[in-house]
Amino acid sequence: MDTLLKKLTPNKKCVKCKFKCNSIYFQQNFKNWTSGNEYIDKFIQDSQVLSHKNYRSNLLEWIPYDRFHNIRYIENIGVYKANWIDGYIHYWDYVTKDWRRFDQNMFVTLKLLNEPKIIALEFKNEINIPCGITQNPQTKDYMMVLRDKCKQCICKCNSIYFKQNFGNWTSGNDDIDEFIQNTQLLAHKKLPVSDVLEWIPYNRLNNIKYIERNGLYNANLIDGCICKWSVLYQNWERENQNMLVTLKYLNNPINVTEEFMNEIKIDYEFYGITQDPQTKNYMIVLSDKCKKCNSKCNAIHFKQNFESWTSGNDVIDQFIQDSQLSDHHNDVNEALEWINYDRFNNIEYVSKGGFGEICKANWIDGCIDKWDNINQNWKRHDENMVVALKSLNHSKNITLEFMNEMILHHKLDSNYKIIKFYGITQNPETENYVMQFDSSKLA
């Protein structure tokens, strides 16, 4: 090693590489830092001289202690956790004439270096990825700076990112904590992150409403669900913010097992566990899952909104809901909707039909296109479109004729695409129910 150091002159090409490689750039900076310990200085310098073309070999660096923040002691494992402001060296930037770094503000472990004279042995026995060495200015203790490494993946995978956060949350129940942590430690390299639960603070849920018919609660999950790790923000990227979820009481936390989770997943997407701070009851956070699609499809998005509307008639409600529960496609094709009459304007009489009258109008909102995950609502198109409104006389009491008419039109739309059937509304003056169609064949 000493011979190699003598041959490498900072302002010249590397003898081994025949050009100015990493080891040269590192040597040029040797005079700008010191650990205050000759054994440590030499150990770090040797690792840098050997880096040559490999930016992420076993190179170490001296890291001033003030480049860490959020330093906290983890008592159960006897190490410190911190955020490394600068992140690790990635490659030399020829424009800025400095090292380009990666993973700024990354989580690292600080572990006491017991004997600087046998530093090589301590690093050799370390299973995690070494980044460098630092020194606590108060205690004067030297510390290894390490990146956690998954034994299965031999790298820093999802399970490590979850593990780093274990000290920042608790459900207050050891069984629940262990269960959630076990699901997270199995995540590894999965993208998107699935089959992972998290502890969800109750204040990250809003619009919590009790649904009497099924004894469950509906709520909006403000942050949405975990998607993938963001290297830039050193945190989890999330999707489906403000998504609608179901809260179900967890009667006995000790029964939370893998079998319990698998049983739940037959009918639901399982996101995590929370606790009502007033009742102290634990609740599982779920979302309906379509048995046909094995995912959250259009039918589920429609179903989650059933409590938000009614035609005032159970038969019509059921008819509309059945059409919505049959629509599993990405683009909405067969679903009808209940449309409030005040969402039409410029209503004009056209002619009399067999059982009622036909009008034309502008539909302010336009028709449903597809689900928008970002806004957690339906995307619409053709706002203010012209539609045909066909009413049936005396239909406020729902006659057999009106039901047959609705069923016929829905079948014609679904099977033959003869005329698009959008939904049903009610004239508030006559109280007659009105079907809404595409106006292209109004004549």
Question: 24-29: long-range contacts (C-beta < 8 A, 24 or more apart)?
Answer: 25/92, 25/99, 26/51, 26/59
Q: Is the Cβ–Cβ distance between 429 and 381 less than 8 Å?
A: no
Amino acid at 116: P
DSSP, collapsed to helix, strand or coil, labels residue 340 as coil
- By CB atoms closer than 10 A (0-12, 13-18, 19+), residue 149 is middle
CA distance 238 to 228: 7
C-alpha distances in Å from residue 149, one per residue of 61, 113, 127, 248, 409: 19, 19, 7, 36, 61
How far apart are the two ends of the chain, measured CA to CA in Å? 92
pLDDT confidence of residue 386: 96
DSSP, collapsed to helix, strand or coil, labels residue 8 as coil
Nearest to 284 by CA among 373, 163, 171, 174: 171
- Which residue is it, tokens 């169609």? 437
DSSP, collapsed to helix, strand or coil, labels residue 412 as helix
pLDDT confidence of residue 151: 81
Q: Is the Cβ–Cβ distance between 421 and 437 less than 8 Å?
A: yes
Q: What is the pLDDT of residues 282-295, one digit of tens each?
A: 999 999 888 888 88
pLDDT confidence of residue 8: 46
**Positions in the chain short of pLDDT 50:** 1-10
DSSP, collapsed to helix, strand or coil, labels residue 437 as strand
Domain ranges in the chain are: 22-149, 159-288, 298-438
pTM of the predicted structure, to 2 decimals: 0.71
pLDDT confidence of residue 121: 80
pLDDT confidence of residue 443: 53
Peptide bond into 116 cis (omega under 30): no
CA distance 420 to 60: 68
Amino acid at 162: F
Give, as one character, the DSSP assignment of residue 155.
B
Query: The tokens of 353 are what?
Result: 């039909």
pLDDT confidence of residue 54: 63
- By CB atoms closer than 10 A (0-12, 13-18, 19+), residue 36 is exposed
C-alpha distances in Å from residue 126, one per residue of 56, 75, 130, 143: 17, 19, 8, 13
Nearest to 330 by CA among 283, 273, 359, 373: 373
CATH of domain 298-438: 3.30.200.20
Count of Cβ atoms closer than 10 Å to residue 342 Cβ: 9
Nearest to 196 by CA among 220, 221, 161, 231: 161
Query: The tokens of 324 are what?
Result: 């919505």
pLDDT confidence of residue 233: 87
